[in-house]
Chain A
Amino acid sequence: MRRERDNPPLQHRTFLSAMSQAGTLPAIPSPAPAASGRIPGSKAMWVGIFCEVTEFALMFAVYFVARAHHPEIFRNGPAQLSLLAGTGYTLMLLTSGWCVARALHAMRASRQRACLQWMMGAFVFGLGYPVIKLFEVRWNLAHGLNGDAGVFIVTYYYLSFNHLIHVFWGLLGMIWVMLRTGTGSYSAEEHSGLESFAVYWHTTDIIWLMIFPLFYVLR
């Protein structure tokens, strides 16, 4: 009862608001915005994102356990990898994410052409990630860093290739979103597909921002 009095159903609130506006009741404070909020993109995308986050959380747990058991190997591990390549991935993904965010803002301002241009920029920078990966893997193999190179390298390949797969999904999604933007399927009012993609891409960014220091920086 008390809960209903503090937070009355919507139709009651509408009635009470009308009464308060008519001056017969004191003004009703609107609910705090932090309690409500919105779902960026779509609910289905967030289910997928939390599955992805759970998957990577488990892999990070494996990393921490392996690191605790082999501290020396993990301390010397990053010196074997190319810090330049790691920084390159980070800059590519961050710039691609920034372009996606700008594309979303352009769409909200009804600037479809600008949105498409920003998405193309995002695609080019996003594509930089697998290109660097190709060169890095070749460099790694040339330096004997294959699947038999120890627990650090195996953990690195396992996590980074999983991340690469998610980047590929993102790039495919980006092509789809660009096609939809180009054909005028999104508008300032309805662009939930674009927003869902943006949410996915930024989450992929976040996961890389965690992988990067673990494997390339912490020595």
Chain B
Amino acid sequence: MNETRKLDLAWLSLVLLSVGGAALGGQPDAGFMITVLVALVMGIKVRIVCDRFLELPTATRRIRQLMYAFCYGMPILVILTSAFGDALARLTAKLII
């Protein structure tokens, strides 16, 4: 498969994941598993953009690591906030005026 075909496929995947993700979370009273799925979809989409559009696999190690840390950190934080929201609220209680 040539490079432009890979780009087209990446775009199509992103569109399908976006529409699918929107339908997934559109349900009322989404449980913890839905949160995990939404975070997973977020991580996959961000990874596709990083690898195919941003061409991170060919970038220097530092750029690659920093971007991946940001991109994977967010979905992980979504899951952690959903699972341990009370603990985070207690930890940050003094920040709220």
A39 touches B59 (CB 8 A): yes
**B85 CB contact (under 8 Å) in A37, A68, A78, A100:** A68
Taking CB atoms and an 8 Å cut-off, the chain B residues in 37-63 that contact chain A are 38-39, 41-42, 45-46, 49-50, 52-56, 58-61, 63
Q: A35-B61, A36-B60, A218-B35 are in contact. Are A206 and B7 (CB under 8 A)?
A: no
**A206 CB contact (under 8 Å) in B46, B52, B63:** B46
A38 touches B60 (CB 8 A): yes
Residues of chain A contacted by B92 (CB below 8 angstroms): 65, 68-69
* Cα(A39)–Cα(B4), bound, Å: 21
* Cα(A216)–Cα(B38), bound, Å: 11
Taking CB atoms and an 8 Å cut-off, the chain A residues in 5-53 that contact chain B are 34-40, 46, 50, 53
Between B3, B73, B81, the greatest number of chain A beta carbons within 10 A of the residue's beta carbon is seen for: B81
What does the 1/0 interface line of A61-85 toward B look like (CB < 8 Å)?
Answer: 0001101110100000011000100
The residue of chain B having its C-beta at the shortest distance from the C-beta of A50 within the complex is: B66
Residues of chain B contacted by A34 (CB below 8 angstroms): 61
B26 touches A67 (CB 8 A): no
* Cα(A65)–Cα(B89), bound, Å: 7
A37 touches B21 (CB 8 A): no
A-side residues, CB < 8 A to B, are: 34-40, 46, 50, 53, 57, 60, 64-65, 67-69, 71, 78-79, 83, 86-87, 90-91, 94-95, 97-98, 100-102, 105, 198-199, 202-203, 205-206, 209-210, 212-214, 216-219
The 8 listed contacts between A and B (C-beta, < 8 Å) are A37-B59, A39-B59, A64-B88, A98-B10, A102-B4, A213-B39, A214-B78, A217-B25
- Given A64-B88, A98-B53, A205-B53, 9 further pairs, Cβ under 8 A: A35-B61, A37-B58, A46-B63, A57-B70, A78-B25, A102-B4, A105-B7, A218-B25, A218-B30
B-side residues, CB < 8 A to A, are: 3-4, 7-8, 10-11, 14-15, 18-19, 21-22, 24-30, 35, 38-39, 41-42, 45-46, 49-50, 52-56, 58-61, 63-64, 66-67, 70-71, 73-74, 77-78, 81-82, 85-86, 88-89, 92, 95-96
